Amino acid sequence: MNMNEVLATIATQKLGKKVHPNDHINMSQSSNDVMPTSMSVAVYLESAEKLLPAMEHLVQVIQKRAAGLQHVVTTGRTHLMDAMPITLAQELGGWASQIRKNVLRIQSALERVRLLAIGGTAVGTGINAHPEFGKKVCVILSRQLGAPFEQNDNLFEALSAPDAIVELSAQLKVLAVSLMKIANDLRWMNSGPIAGFGEIELPALQPGSSIMPGKINPVIPESVAMACARVMGNDVTATVAGQSGSFQLNVMLPVLVDSTLESLHLMSNACTLLADKAIAGFSVNEARIAQLVGRNPILVTALNPIVGYEVGAKIAKTAYKEGRSVKDVALECTQLTADELDKHLDPAKLTHGGIAH
């Protein structure tokens, strides 16, 4: 109502004739269809113009880094325990795939966000509105904003159930889950540099401690993780708001759009910062990575098809207990030659999968 009054005052001044806030400005409209329409437009534009480009940028940065790391074989980890080797390119490729699939999820949700409630007026019947009003408004909005808005084919749903926004919020939560996973991987890889993994070094952006000189913390992955936590909480808010509609109207749209727009803002910034301030600039400690791979007793897994699980387990335990290489122990415990073991235990070859024979 306040907006109608402001617009009526401006129009009256410019036209030199009395413009009424209800009879003229609010003609064919109700706050019950204007508010959800405005919400959908705002969320759609924030997603299409800011979030999706930021996600695509993150994918491109990850892929560029992966292309230059295909030769680096690192230790795979499951349960945070040493596992079979993979390349850093494969590891980063998994990240890129996560974000690409998130792009598809959000694009899918936007197909429903773009369907607007305008024309439903008070309760969805379109009372006091021209039958073509809603459709014509969508045409104008699409032309002016460069987005494919259409009138929802069921205005009762559009007014009472903001399911499309709730769905988008859920997809933002999935993106937050993916980004937190990537951020935590980076933190682990960067840990140390002496007592941790020390496989990469993230760009140093600020001093890490007021008492420990020289300490540098992974502030970008940490800030991304906190943004992700906030988005996960916002999705709970969106869920409660979405299910709080009663009959023909949902009265919790303000908190729904506020939480969703905040999530969009946080995820857009998180993608950009993670790409530009962390992934694009980290350095790789290839010597450290090679050292860890060479000492990994789990490499014996490649010998399972040849020597069997029990012999393989004995080799791995002995190698770990005595601090020896798998190859040295296998030479004692099997009939395999040094050349055969070199062939089967080559970490680079093991990253391609398949069965040894």
Cβ count near 326 (within 10 Å): 26
Q: Which domain holds residue 321?
A: 295-350
246 SS3 class: strand
Q: How far apart are CA 39 and CA 43, in angstroms?
A: 6
- Would the pLDDT of 191 be above 90? yes
Specify whether 182 is located in the same domain as 307: no
User: Which residues belong to the active site?
Assistant: 79, 209
Specify whether 325 is located in the same domain as 198: no
pLDDT tens-digit map of 7-41: 999 999 999 999 999 999 999 999 999 999 999 99
pLDDT tens-digit map of 211-236: 887 888 999 999 999 999 999 999 99
pLDDT range class, residue 98, cuts 50, 70, 90: very high
CATH number of the domain residue 327 falls in: 1.10.40.30
Q: How far apart are CA 184 and CA 178, in angstroms?
A: 10
Q: Model's pTM, two decimal places?
A: 0.93
- In contact, 69 and 283? CB cutoff 8 Å: no
Report if residue 48 sits inside a domain.
yes
248, 264, 288 — which closes off a domain?
288
Report if residue 1 sits inside a domain.
no
pLDDT tens-digit map of 111-125: 999 999 999 999 999
Report if residue 254 sits inside a domain.
yes
User: What is the residue-averaged pLDDT of the chain?
Assistant: 95
- Would the pLDDT of 326 be above 70? yes
CATH number of the domain residue 147 falls in: 1.20.200.10
Report if residue 46 sits inside a domain.
yes
pLDDT range class, residue 357, cuts 50, 70, 90: low
- Would the pLDDT of 210 be above 90? no
Report if residue 208 sits inside a domain.
no
Higher pLDDT, 349 or 152: 152
Q: What does the pLDDT read at residue 295?
A: 85
